[in-house]
Amino acid sequence: MQLSIVIINYNVRYFLEQCLSVLERAMAGIEAEVIVVDNGSSDGSVAYLAPLFPFVRFIESAENLGFARANNLALAQCSGELVLFLNPDTLIAEDTLQKCIGHFSENPSTGALGVRMIDGKGKFLPESKRSFPSPWVSFAKLSGLSAVFPRSGTFNRYALGYLDEHTDHPVDVLAGACMFVRKTLLTQLNGFDESYFLYGEDVDLSYRVKKAGYNNIYFSRTSIIHFKGESSRTQSLLRVKHFYHAMLVFVKKHYNAGAAKIFSVFLSMAIALRGLIAAVVKLVKPVLLPLVDGALVFISLQSMRFSWISKIRNGEDFNVPFVVWAMPLFSVLFVMMAALAGVYERRYKTSRMLAGTAFATICMLAVYSLLPENIRFSRGVILGGGCMAALLLLLFRQVLIASNSSLLIAEKEAGGQTVVVSSEEEYIEIKRLLLSTLHAEPLGRISIGKNDTGALCNIDELSSLEKSFAISRIIFCIGENSMRSIIAVSESVSKQNKRFLFHTAGTNSMIGSQTLAPGKEMIVPEIDFRIAHPYQKRMKRLLDVILASLFLLVFPLHFIVHPHPVLFLKHSLSVLQGSKTWVGYGHPSGSLPHLKPGILSPGEKTSNALLSQKADQLYAKNYDWWQDFLVVLRGYKRL
């Protein structure tokens, strides 16, 4: 047998579905086998995929064995002359396997081979080729010098930035996301070192391949898409520790004692530094935008105060000591009321911004009117300052949008039109899939070829289509258009800042960077669960507290009108403490945003799990606090 392909899956069944679909196309004419190790997934991967891909041998593990152990488990059953270790969040081109097998046949000195990779947005992934870790290489990467000098052989040795990405090269390290290795060599090296759990396994294996006298080749003549860590997306401190621990294991294993000791000290400092940075960012980032807004509101109020004194009062001050304290207090009030109105929701909308600042200004005026007469100074200052603040905040948001700041997700990303790169028949399939799940219809179809009269335009003319329609998303269908051509096209339009989704004809899912599109039975790409919005979560908790407090205040009445008053008291206390919510899911599922256990459910009580799941899904998707209020009102006697 020519080739054994090993894939480790952990809770990414829809990425794996697309991976296997394109892999099946690439295996045409090749004697190959595919082995998938399911590493203790909880998403039903094997039950979903096994019937769809009978040519795949699935090995189920009850626990997460880690990357190295899981690969070695499959390696023991491989019979191919070459073994390809492939991530499930990859899409390979039709010529990838054939070209790589051909290279091994022509180059007996090649022990391992990795290919050119791009991400799900069409950008080249520098980790396609790397060097071995060392104190200087790690320092240059951690300090940001590698990013400042990406083409430097001194400062960016980690990603070998000085080597042309479109030329083949012998390199130190190949990426485990797509790594071909000779089976005889793997047997000689005893596979992956199981001392590594997460990260570092590919670095260690690459080192041992070179030590055994073989070359690690970066192969540029074929490209694949790697969505880069979809099964481990969170960049937590724990993952940073895993990464540096892997580097430390490698250094202790392969470097002399003196170098290992120096590197150990350096890595410990690096972990502490990264941890401190992560903690500061985690602490500051959520409040950074409100703090800047508060400063802008304060500037607006102060400016209006001095202008009022100068222009309206002819230089005469208010002679109210409280005015000094009023400016910062009203600034805080403005930001709090704007937050309550949803200004700081994850996705920014200009209409929401205008409504939120108007609401905040009205609240400032209302609070001002309740102040004692002797500490009031001027409604005009409050009203004028609020209007000026609204204008400044709006302008500030436009600056953030123009600079693509991570502090803001602009409304243009939330909306926009979807176009599909496909044949006419495939377009009908994708349109049906989107309508049945996302309840959205694409703008139309565009083509890769130039002689497709039924398409809106050719992919090369996308920028002209953009002048008439705001295109935010491109769905690529892999079928009549080859994966190879789709990879090339995605690279050519990568600078246009679109969201890319990929769908293989005949499958029930779509995938993209940080996006799952599960198919008919689940909600698809970028579903907007209203209940996950910060504003809606605040309103839900506020309603819970108000209702629980109200119920407790009038509790003696419940002994007269409620069938189970003592149980109702316990429920009210649980909701007030935050351990429960008045309305929760009837059939909790990991596919929906998390909620505390509910006293009531949004749908009628039923033993039909499917109906209950549908009710929960609609509840999460269309959530509104008034809906909770009505559910509690109707279900009072069941509380």
Which residue type, as a one-letter code, is found at position 625?
W
Indicate whether 303 pLDDT > 90.
Answer: yes
At residue 270, the pLDDT reads: 67
| 578-605 residue pLDDT tens | 889 999 888 776 667 888 888 888 876 6
pLDDT, average across residues 487-497: 88
Q: How far is 19 from 14, CA to CA, in rounded Å? A: 9
510-512/515-517 β-pairing: antiparallel
Indicate whether 563 pLDDT > 80.
Answer: yes
Please, is 468 exposed, middle or buried when counting C-beta atoms within 10 Å of its C-beta (0-12, 13-18, 19+)?
exposed
Indicate whether 326 pLDDT > 80.
Answer: yes
Domains of the chain: 3-135+145-230 (3.90.550.10), 286-388 (no CATH), 415-517 (3.40.50.720), 530-638 (no CATH)
pLDDT, average across residues 365-371: 91
Q: φ and ψ at 37, to 5 degrees? A: -100, 120
Q: Are the CB atoms for 201 and 70 separated by under 8 Å?
A: no
Distance of CA 62 to the CA centre of its chain: 27
Q: Residue 382 — pLDDT band, cuts 50, 70, 90?
A: very high
At residue 292, the pLDDT reads: 94
pLDDT, average across residues 507-525: 57
Q: How far is 46 from 13, CA to CA, in rounded Å? A: 8
82-86/178-182 β-pairing: antiparallel
State the Cα torsion 341-346-348-351 to the nearest 10°: -30
Q: Which of 92, 65, 125, 109 is nearest to 5 (CA)?
A: 92
Q: How far is 293 from 297, CA to CA, in rounded Å? A: 6
Q: How far is 181 from 540, CA to CA, in rounded Å? A: 54
More confident residue, 418 or 269: 418
> What percentage of the chain carries pLDDT values higher than 90?
40
At residue 632, the pLDDT reads: 86
CA distances from 398 to 264, 292, 359, 403, 412 (A): 46, 14, 20, 9, 12
Which of 149-163, 228-242, 248-262 reaches the highest mean pLDDT?
149-163
Indicate whether 144 pLDDT > 90.
Answer: no
Q: Residue 508 — pLDDT band, cuts 50, 70, 90?
A: confident
SS3 readout for 353-377: HHHHHHHHHHHHHHHHHCCCHHHCC
> For the stretch 41-75, what's the b/e string if a residue is b when 16 or more beta carbons lie within 10 angstroms of its beta carbon?
bebebbebbeeebeebebbebeebbbbbbbbbbbb
- Strand blocks (E) in 365-466: 417-421, 444-447, 457-458
SS3 readout for 456-502: CEEHHHHHHHHCCCCEEEEEEEECCCCHHHHHHHHHHCHHHCCEEEE
- Which pair of structure tokens corresponds to residue 154? 């001194």
Indicate whether 235 pLDDT > 50.
Answer: no
At residue 109, the pLDDT reads: 96
> Alpha-carbon Rg of the chain, whole angstroms?
30
| Average pLDDT over all residues of the chain | 84
Indicate whether 35 pLDDT > 70.
Answer: yes
Q: How far is 496 from 462, CA to CA, in rounded Å? A: 9
- Which pair of structure tokens corresponds to residue 200? 């570092």
More confident residue, 268 or 112: 112
Q: Are the CB atoms for 202 and 86 separated by under 8 Å?
A: no
Q: φ and ψ at 87, to 5 degrees? A: -75, 150
Q: Which of 574, 567, 634, 618 is nearest to 598 (CA)?
A: 574
Q: How far is 629 from 564, CA to CA, in rounded Å? A: 20
First to last CA, the chain: 65
Indicate whether 30 pLDDT > 90.
Answer: yes
Indicate whether 524 pLDDT > 70.
Answer: no
Indicate whether 346 pLDDT > 80.
Answer: no
| 37-87 residue pLDDT tens | 999 888 888 999 999 999 999 999 988 888 889 999 999 999 999 999 999
At residue 250, the pLDDT reads: 76
At residue 169, the pLDDT reads: 94
Indicate whether 279 pLDDT > 90.
Answer: no
- Which pair of structure tokens corresponds to residue 394? 């709006």
> For the stretch 314-346, what's the b/e string if a residue is b when 16 or more beta carbons lie within 10 angstroms of its beta carbon?
eeeebeeeebeebbeebbebbbebbbbbbbbbe
Q: Residue 143 — pLDDT band, cuts 50, 70, 90?
A: low
At residue 58, the pLDDT reads: 96
Q: Which of 359, 356, 364 is nearest to 327 (CA)?
A: 364
Q: How far is 120 from 511, CA to CA, in rounded Å? A: 9
Q: Which of 188, 195, 196, 190 is nearest to 214 (CA)?
A: 188
Q: Are the CB atoms for 599 and 639 separated by under 8 Å?
A: yes
Indicate whether 518 pLDDT > 50.
Answer: no
- Strand blocks (E) in 254-385: none
Please count the residues of the chain.
Answer: 639
